[in-house]
Amino acid sequence: MSGPLALDAVARDTGAGKFQVAVQVAGTALLLDEPVSVGGMGSGPTPYQLLASALAACTTMTLRVYALQKGWPVTGIRTLAGHQRQAGIVPADLFTRRIEIDGDLDAAQRARLLEIADRCPVHRTLTGGARVETELAAAAAPSEPASAHAEDLEHAIREG
């Protein structure tokens, strides 16, 4: 390992179903799962869907900041992203994006925004590769029961 772990997310097995995990990230809790068709409960996005959402969000943020810096009349940006695995092709993982930009832009501005989309840090990570360093440690505490997330949500709604 190159140093202390940078821990941005924590995923815990919920004990419910075959795949379901509870994730804590930036003060937000969510469930990740796999579809019923592959043995999951379909209780949340898959890890690849979450990764595609990171690409969509980062792309939208990058384009918004660039358009604001340029003073371009962009009134809305929507990025749709998805993931699929293609057997027999290297690399097998394909992420696709569709970017919809509202505003009175000329063709050159739209072309430039398409170029800028590829500068999004998540895009660069996906296309450039990344290292993953892993260490094994003793468990700190048992995972929460599967109902804890639902109870927390109900509590937050009552107080909010």
Mean pLDDT by 10 residues, the chain (160 residues): 76 96 95 97 97 98 98 98 94 96 98 98 94 86 59 62
In whole angstroms, what is the distance from residue 118 CA to residue 108 CA? Answer: 16
52-96 tens-digit pLDDT: 999 999 999 999 999 999 999 999 999 999 999 999 999 999 999
* pTM assigned to the model: 0.82
Residue ranges per structural domain of the chain: 1-44, 46-129
In whole angstroms, what is the distance from residue 86 CA to residue 88 CA? Answer: 6
46-129 folds as GMP Synthetase; Chain A, domain 3 (3.30.300)
Residues 6+ apart with CB under 8 A from 150: none
